Amino acid sequence: MEVSYKKLWKILIDKDMKKKDLQAAAGMSWASVTKLSKGETVSMEVLMKVCKALDCNIGDIMDFIPTDGDSKA
């Protein structure tokens, strides 16, 4: 399963924010912003900081994308 943060980038555009603005508002490291930019997984703590900074829920900033190897349990 992969993660997509396209919703997060759309929110930033809508709020006229840059990635560095998000980093400052959420109080997170640049490494975490880089991971988000690359679509990599980040800790729940980072996701909670982003949601708090943007006043949104986790489903508002990310989606799970099934891959071919994923089984339906």
Q: What is the CATH number of domain 2-65?
A: 1.10.260.40
Q: Can you read off the two tokens belonging to residue 19?
A: 């990635």
Domain boundaries, the chain: 2-65
pTM: 0.88
| C-alpha count within 13 angstroms, C-beta hemisphere, residue 3 | 17
Residue 42 has pLDDT above 90, yes or no: yes
Q: What is the DSSP string of 30-49?
A: HHHHHHHHTT----HHHHHH
What is the rounded CA–CA span in Å between residue 12 and residue 35? 16
| Interval 16-40: pLDDT, tens | 999 999 999 999 999 999 999 999 9
